[in-house]
Amino acid sequence: MAENQVDAAIIGGGIVGTTAAYFMARRGARIALIERDQLGHGTTARSFAWINASSKIADEPYHMLNALGASIYHDLADEFGAEKLGLHRTGMLQCISRTDPSGLAAMEEQAGYLQRYGYPHRRIDADTLSSLEPAITFDEDATAIHAMSEDWLDAPEFVSFLAGEIRAMGSQVLEGCTATALDLNDDGSVSGLLTDQGTLSTSRVLIAAGHETPEVLAALTGYEAFGARFPMNRVQGLLVTTPPNHNAGALRHVIYFDGPAHAFHIRPAGNGRLRLGADDTDGMIAEDTSPENLLMAGERLLGHARARVPELIGNVTAEQCDLAVGIRPYPHDGKTLAGALPGSKGLYLIATHSGITLAPSLGRLMAELMIDGSVPEALQSFALERFPRFA
């Protein structure tokens, strides 16, 4: 790659970086999207990929940011077709037993927030649950929140589609390319980005490197403390994807089974497969977990599913499944980091959990910030200045 002049360079070809690049290109900017490995094959491919805002209720700006992301997916589906995006319009069912008083109280509080926010949902009983999911036998005392507008996404397919659109708009997508350092003017403003394939001349650089954000920021700036002091944790998550079976096609929705025992979430995964996750099995693994521990956690997760939906799971074992560990970027206060790096001139970043849901909203809002120079109101609550070390 010879020296190129671009309006912005985006580091990270996961769903967040690719979507930001797409929305910048749509605004007429010339973009270079840089991915060290292969687009959409890191954490993006190891996500449950449930697009939702129903579970994010305690903080209204954060809920609204997620709801905006879900809404933009629908806008894109209207424009291009859901199939091209890998978007599956299923809706979500969050189920709980009425005999769980604390869980029931939490669901009632959740529904109250959703009502206040104007988020589409309805409360349903066991009979309605059975009509929506006839292949599942629900407890007679089951109740649920039905979030009709929530979907699941084939995230690598979505990233691939957007990358094609970025190229069609005349911008660059560079895979197998590593960003190595920032080129700075005398006043400290960004003037370029050095990569192992050449130099990009640009005044704007966005880091969207997921859980590797601290290390990438430290390497680009030469300030090693970013690697240890950046306000973000790495949180592991286990996903189990079953092999194809004829019963899996009967599942119609994303389902979140809540409660004190056997809590887990499940969705279709295409081609007769199912994808499962659970909070307690996430806690059983680490980044360097052994194959034996991974199988143990996988069996526990399948056990949750057998207890709830034996009709769908059957006798499949963890050894027959695809077991994947995703590493999620999780800011210290649980909310998105998005905006300009304080004290910098031309350096921006996004670091967030729920990247699948938030990618369209953050991509569109960051395009407005970086290309137009105005800070959207919806981003103001997520600036890095809220952490004292960045103020």
Q: Is the residue at 58 inside a domain? A: no
| 57 in any annotated domain | no
CATH number, domain at 324? Answer: 3.30.9.10
For residues 205 and 100, membership in a common domain is answered with no
Are 225 and 347 part of one and the same domain? yes
Q: DSSP secondary-structure letter at 345?
A: B
**C-alpha–C-alpha distance, residues 217 and 6, integer Å:** 20
Q: Encode pLDDT of 312-337 as tens digits.
A: 999 999 999 999 999 999 999 999 99
Say what the pLDDT of residue 227 is. Answer: 86
Domain containing 227 equals: 4-46+155-231+333-390
Question: Could you say which residues of the chain have pLDDT below 70?
Answer: 1-3, 391
Q: What does the pLDDT read at residue 3?
A: 56
DSSP state of 371: I
Q: Which helix (H) or strand (E) holds 88?
A: strand 87-88
Same domain, 41 and 93: no
What's the pTM?
A: 0.96
Residue 73 inside a domain? The answer is no
CATH number of the domain enclosing 37 = 3.50.50.60
pLDDT at 388: 85
Taken in order 58, 59, 62, 64, the sign of the CA dihedral is positive
Q: What pLDDT does residue 1 have?
A: 52
State residue 31's pLDDT score. 97
Whether residue 139 is found in the same domain as residue 263:
yes
Give, rounded to a whole angstrom, the gap between the first and last alpha carbons of the chain: 37
Domain-terminating residue out of 308, 331, 354: 331
DSSP sequence for 173-232: EEES--EEEEEE-TTSBEEEEEETTEEEE-S-EEE--GGGHHHHHHHHHS-TTHHHHSSE
Contact predicate 302/240, CB 8 Å: yes
381 and 350 assigned to the same domain: yes
214 with 277, same domain?
Answer: no
Q: What is the mean pLDDT of the chain?
A: 95
Judgement on whether residues 288 and 341 belong to the same structural domain of the protein: no
Task: Output the pLDDT for position 170.
Answer: 97
